[in-house]
Structure 1
Amino acid sequence: MQRYILSRKNHITLISGILIAIAFIIKWTMGNIMIFNWILIIASIFGVAPIAIQAYQALRVKVVSIDVLVTMAVIGAFLIQNYEESAIVTFLFLFGAYLEQRTLNQTRSAIKELTEMAPESALKQMKNGEFEEVEVDEVDEGDILLVKTGAKVPVDGTVLSGEGHINEASITGEAVSVGKERDSKVFAGTILENGTIQIVADRVGEDTTFGKIIELVEEAQDSKSEAERFIDRFSKYYTPAVLVLSFVVWLISQNIELAITILVLGCPGALVIGVPVSNVAGIGNGARHGVLLKGSEVIHDFSRTDTMVFDKTGTLTVGNPSVSETKYYTDKADEVLGYLASIERESDHPLAKAVLQEIGEKTFSPVENTEVVKGGGIVASVNGHRVAVGNVALMEKENIELNEEVKADVVRFERDGNSLVLTAVDGKLKVMMGVRDQIRTGVKKDLQKLKSLGVKNLVMLSGDNQGTVDIVSRELGLTEAHGNMLPEDKAEYIKKLKEEGQVVAFVGDGVNDSPSLALADIGIAMGSGTDVAIETSDVVLMNSDFSRLPHAVGLTKSTARNMLQNIIIAIGVVLVLLAGVFFSDWVNMSIGMLVHEASILAVILNGMRLLGYSIR
């Protein structure tokens, strides 16, 4: 019976409102007070039923909820035969709950829109070579799928054949179409606007980028910040305190109507709902704009960030470097380049890819006894030769002599903004390559926006040489820049900043960034970075779109301000109403409930403003 009544709460609200309207029409037209009172009694009983059930359920778990206060107020109104107040209070309370739920659902529209974008079917290649439509859950990794114009990409995959343009707004928040061709990566939930492509499934189900986005947003919206936990604790003691105050007022004044009015006015509804609605709306806005905020606590910390630390490669730069200059110190360049290519093809480092692209087609030799020197490079045996590939520090570690000519070349290469890849064979330097990365388009403008948003210190930490780091730093106008840093050095530097009292955010994209992402107050991962970096971080910028970072900072600051505004509105309304009860005669139970519900709507509507937030 309880479940049935609660499931019909909206219908009960409507019936209660109609009965109240009929009662007043009869009173004004016929003047029949007895019928007027009986209709209001029926309306009160209808209205209080779901409220009383919720109050009972709360008391069973030893919680004195708002429903308990309203139920007691309605019972008190019955005792003093004020049926008009009891009917209006129950209707306003139920109607306010209906509006509250409806507007809250709108703040959760981002996650609803995301789930609606989820693909449901796919055209899968069967054993006979034909494509058949199947449920997306029936797709496994390695399956070949056909995507036609206008269809959603069902999984994360790689294009095998065909070309087309894909709208990746569900992943990046940006509706600009992206061209796709053979070997391009595609993501589940994106839409092929033109063309036809065949893809091989790399990730399916919850493992897709889109699946992870939905999971992260759902977890974030269900999480609670420190402010919310404080309000929960506050309400736990506040509500019983209102009961005690009401009882004390009745004992002193012997005015039961005044005591009942205090019960109604003391309902902390706006205070309880104000902070969560701000958080949900802020997280929803972020999800729609390619920014994943992993929870309410992240918003609080991120809004206070005064120092932002960046990795260089793949964060401030494109992460797709190329060889800009090469110097040989041997007559057997082809042989050495073959050794170098053999070693570099086993690495997934951006510099290794640049070197391989520069060398081109070579006959690879077997590589043995590979040793990765952290922050230095690689040492291995190739065709019986000891080959060292890395930076100057590795050469010194291998006791390789760098003569004056080489030292001069090192200075010149670094001055020109190059990262160095030196190759030594059997203890002698043979080749020096200068590899240069390009700064991301628009990064300088985005960094200026961060400063205008209150981020005082912009710091770059990189494993690259100091010369390259300084060039990038000067071009971007950073506060500090430090090169030749190992992963542990970066983590130690962030620890030092935190000990100085700074609120630190770290932005990176690689596995070596994970310690720093975890140690910083806020870890921010570029969305096309590694899974480890994304899992370790607090904020994810989808599709590695650096321009989303100022939006994220501005959004969290606006959300934090919005929370504070809602708390002030909620507490202010209660104080004004209680002052009105004790020091004036304009506040009664019905007016109190009306203002109380209006304050709930006010904080919800204030929170919903965040859904339309955008950086200027």
Structure 2
Amino acid sequence: MRGARRAVRHRWAASAVSGLLIVAAPIVERTVDPDTGRALMVAASLVAGGPIAVRAARSLGHRTIGIELLVTTASVGALVIGEFWEAAAVTFLFAVGGALEASTLGRTRRALAELLDLAPAVAVVVRDGEQVQVAADQVGVGETVLVKNGAKVPVDGEVIDGRAVVDEAGITGESIPADKGAGAKVFAGTVSRGGFIRVRATGVGADTTLARVVHRVEEAQEEKARAQRFIERFSRWYTPGIMVLAAVAGLLTEDVVMALTLLVISCPGALVISMPVSIVAGIGRAARSGILIKGGEHLETAARVTAVALDKTGTLTRGRPRLTDLVPVPGTTQHDLLGWAALAEAGSEHPLARPVLEAAREAGLPAPPLPDQVVPHPGKGVQARSGTHRIVVGSLGLLAESGIVADPWTRATVAGFAEAGRTPMAVALDGAVLGVIAMADEVRADAAAMVRELRDAGVRRVVMLTGDDARVARAVAATTGVAEVRAGLLPEDKLAAVRALQAEGQVVAMVGDGVNDAPALATADVGIAMGAAGSDVALETADLALMSDNLMRLPEAIRLSRLTVRNLRQNAAIALVTVAVLLSGVLLGGVTMAIGMFVHQASVLVVIVNGMRLLRIRPRTVEAHRACTAAGEVRPATAGSR
């Protein structure tokens, strides 16, 4: 019984029964009895039209006049005037179109289903020294999880020991598996392609990156674009307007069939469905590439981007600066210079602190104690106090603010490092300069290709915003092909730079890490977070989140947004042209109710299929990335700025 009920409720059941009755009706009419044949045709229209009428009544209950009401009114009118074939044909075609629409729309959501399939069901954890298999959502934070060859990683976590090659394509969109060793981060839903690792769980169940990605994609596919909201508002007025128009036309011409036909051919079904199918397909296709788009509105905005503002450190460069030079003043050793710099940086949270501390450790210096007081100066450096000593590490400007006079040698040394493409910092102790240290970062191998691809995608201006020295910034710009550089910027200056671009009429996308440069990211028309995998802040705050650090995902996101909006426009044009042609056909004669419904439903399927094309797009930035990775080498450039 339950199986029979499921079959009846299946989306194709009403269409199938109605279709059989329509085929049988003329046969019975000619061979058995004309009245029986006509009764079968009426039954066909009732079987297919019943669910349509129910939906129309529900919509009216919510004070909404929808497409179903137009079809129901037209079919009932046809039955009343004895046009049984027309009534059956209209309801049958509408039912078939609805079933096809539901089926094909389901395919556009396949990207989300694929993400859900990534979620592992079980995990192997170590409890009381034994391996125990448990449900993945039953793993506790801090527990040790074993990931063997071929197994899915069940949690977000940090590798304790072992080594494995992990396929992260489902999360980051990267096709090349990543090598994971002790200290590396792994994400739930990724797959070990070789090796064995022990992982300490840091995120489980709904707190994993995969769960947050799925949640974000679900929200994004439901969020409406501006054009979609406009079409829905338009249809709420359009539908009752068409009913009034049909009634007036019927009264004036005394042609009831024409009035009913107007109801059928004027259904805005293709126009209404054209928007969500493209939005859902575009967002789903982006998710496959590790590009999370917050919703249709942000996708539309990304398609209009004319200027991209890039932070230098961690975006154009790898963000892993290393200490390259130690130049002490006469009477000071390199160890002394490095030791005092490390002491000041021990209490700093800035990325430039890490290479100083690493260099001190590699030089065999003892781990510096935490200073008594640390005062960061964003964009300039850091001041620290340890006992009676005051240490300053940073730019010449910070030295001046601290009342320290930089002698000509210090100025010349700083200038020399900057001209060479390194980031220099002076180190002073108790008001006297001890020397200059310099750092270098690496320009990403695909940075130049990314800039070219942005321009090919239609971005007119690519601007570097950095707190680094202007000479250092120009060196990176020359390497990457960035034409505009704004250097020596504090966080508030970057915000002002974004606003200035907007004041010039630019639609600005700001690219950062989702945490730093937060004001600029929030002010930009589109905030884009790089390397968002594992970052709660980036996933929640960014309009677009690129899950990997692959720069080529940036132009791919812009290009895919433009393709999706172009697809939206194509679908709207198809829908409007179809209605215009059918309307002309009705007024001029020749378009019947059945033909009108057939063409209308065909246009619905055309816009759905056109939207689904987005799922098969393979942006050329993928090939560009592979080419530049294969041919290019990582080039040294500057370190980051404070």
Q: Into which bin does the TM-score normalised by the smaller protein fall?
A: over 0.9
Of 402, 409, 412, which residue of structure 2 is paired with 1:408? Answer: 412
The one-letter amino acid paired with 1:343 is A
Aligned ranges for residues 175-254 of structure 1 at < 5 Å?
A: 175-254=175-254
Q: TM-score, normalised by structure 1?
A: 0.96
Of 487, 498, 502, which residue of structure 1 is paired with 2:506? Answer: 502
Aligned ranges for residues 438-449 of structure 1 at < 5 Å?
A: 438-449=442-453
Q: Does the 8 Å contact 1:270/1:599 carry over to 2?
A: yes
Aligned ranges for residues 417-496 of structure 1 at < 5 Å?
A: 417-496=421-500
TM-fit CA distance, 1:581: 0.4
**Structure 2: stretches of 5+ with no match in the other structure:** 621-642
Aligned ranges for residues 341-352 of structure 1 at < 5 Å?
A: 341-352=342-353
SS in structure 2 opposite 1:350?
A: coil
TM-fit CA distance, 1:148: 1.0
Relative distance call for 1:318 and 1:266 in structure 2 (3 A) is same
Comparing 198-207 and 498-507, the one that deviates more: 198-207
Of 11, 14, 34, which residue of structure 2 is paired with 1:12? Answer: 14
User: 1:425-471 CA deviation, whole Å, 9 max, x = no partner?
Assistant: 11111131111111111111121111111111010000111111011
Comparing 39-48 and 591-600, the one that deviates more: 39-48
TM-fit CA distance, 1:8: 4.7
Q: Does the 8 Å contact 2:188/2:208 carry over to 1?
A: yes
Q: Does the 8 Å contact 1:511/1:532 carry over to 2?
A: yes
1:611 alignment partner in structure 2: 615
Q: Does the 8 Å contact 1:370/1:379 carry over to 2?
A: yes
Distance 2:582 2:473 in 1: 60
Distance 1:406 1:613 in 2: 55
1:512 alignment partner in structure 2: 516
The one-letter amino acid paired with 2:546 is L
Please tell me whether residue 278 in structure 1 is matched to residue 281 in structure 2.
Answer: no
Please tell me whether residue 362 in structure 1 is matched to residue 365 in structure 2.
Answer: yes
1:34 alignment partner in structure 2: 35
TM-fit CA distance, 1:332: 4.5
SS in structure 1 opposite 2:551?
A: coil
Relative distance call for 1:234 and 1:5 in structure 2 (3 A) is farther
Of 542, 547, 560, which residue of structure 2 is paired with 1:542? Answer: 547
The one-letter amino acid paired with 1:431 is G
TM-fit CA distance, 1:338: 2.5
Relative distance call for 1:366 and 1:228 in structure 2 (3 A) is closer
Aligned ranges for residues 298-337 of structure 1 at < 5 Å?
A: 298-329=298-329, 330-337=331-338
Please tell me whether residue 149 in structure 1 is matched to residue 149 in structure 2.
Answer: yes
Relative distance call for 1:413 and 1:369 in structure 2 (3 A) is same
Please tell me whether residue 581 in structure 1 is matched to residue 583 in structure 2.
Answer: no
TM-fit CA distance, 1:26: 3.7
SS in structure 1 opposite 2:517?
A: helix
The one-letter amino acid paired with 2:104 is T
SS in structure 2 opposite 1:523?
A: strand
2:537 alignment partner in structure 1: 532
Distance 1:527 1:210 in 2: 14
The one-letter amino acid paired with 2:14 is I
Comparing 47-56 and 363-372, the one that deviates more: 363-372
Aligned-residue Cα RMSD (Å) equals 1.7
User: 1:560-597 CA deviation, whole Å, 9 max, x = no partner?
Assistant: 11000101100110110010001132x10111110010
1:22 alignment partner in structure 2: 24
Distance 1:500 1:599 in 2: 41
2:559 alignment partner in structure 1: 554
SS in structure 1 opposite 2:189?
A: coil
User: 1:475-530 CA deviation, whole Å, 9 max, x = no partner?
Assistant: 22212101110110000111111112111111111533111111000111102485
Distance 1:352 1:521 in 2: 32
Q: Does the 8 Å contact 1:265/1:577 carry over to 2?
A: yes
TM-fit CA distance, 1:348: 3.7
2:269 alignment partner in structure 1: 269
TM-fit CA distance, 1:297: 0.5
The one-letter amino acid paired with 2:125 is K
Distance 1:510 1:343 in 2: 27
2:107 alignment partner in structure 1: 106
SS in structure 2 opposite 1:179?
A: strand
Distance 1:192 1:84 in 2: 61
Distance 2:517 2:305 in 1: 19
SS in structure 2 opposite 1:565?
A: helix
1:43 alignment partner in structure 2: 44
TM-fit CA distance, 1:37: 0.8
Q: Does the 8 Å contact 1:514/1:536 carry over to 2?
A: no
Q: Does the 8 Å contact 2:308/2:463 carry over to 1?
A: yes
Q: Does the 8 Å contact 1:321/1:438 carry over to 2?
A: yes
Distance 1:27 1:33 in 2: 4
Distance 1:335 1:479 in 2: 41
Comparing 222-231 and 352-361, the one that deviates more: 352-361
Relative distance call for 1:393 and 1:208 in structure 2 (3 A) is farther
The one-letter amino acid paired with 1:543 is S
2:631 alignment partner in structure 1: none
Distance 1:510 1:598 in 2: 45
Q: Does the 8 Å contact 1:339/1:365 carry over to 2?
A: no
2:629 alignment partner in structure 1: none
Q: TM-score, normalised by structure 2?
A: 0.92
Q: Does the 8 Å contact 2:152/2:190 carry over to 1?
A: yes
Distance 2:616 2:445 in 1: 26
The one-letter amino acid paired with 2:579 is V
Q: Does the 8 Å contact 1:26/1:32 carry over to 2?
A: yes
TM-fit CA distance, 1:533: 4.2
Relative distance call for 1:26 and 1:583 in structure 2 (3 A) is same
User: 1:107-162 CA deviation, whole Å, 9 max, x = no partner?
Assistant: 11101100111122211221x11121111221222111111111111111111111
TM-fit CA distance, 1:382: 2.0
Q: Does the 8 Å contact 1:508/1:533 carry over to 2?
A: no
2:64 alignment partner in structure 1: 63
The one-letter amino acid paired with 2:351 is P
TM-fit CA distance, 1:367: 1.1
The one-letter amino acid paired with 1:362 is L
TM-fit CA distance, 1:424: 1.1
Distance 1:245 1:274 in 2: 24
1:158 alignment partner in structure 2: 158
Percent identity between matched residues is 41
TM-fit CA distance, 1:549: 1.1
Distance 2:9 2:291 in 1: 36
1:171 alignment partner in structure 2: 171
Distance 1:171 1:344 in 2: 34
Q: Does the 8 Å contact 1:443/1:546 carry over to 2?
A: yes
Distance 1:177 1:453 in 2: 28
Q: Does the 8 Å contact 2:290/2:546 carry over to 1?
A: yes
Distance 2:544 2:140 in 1: 29
The one-letter amino acid paired with 2:22 is I
User: 1:151-198 CA deviation, whole Å, 9 max, x = no partner?
Assistant: 111111111111110000011112211111111111111000111110
User: 1:257-299 CA deviation, whole Å, 9 max, x = no partner?
Assistant: 1111111111100000001111111001100011111100011
Distance 2:218 2:435 in 1: 52
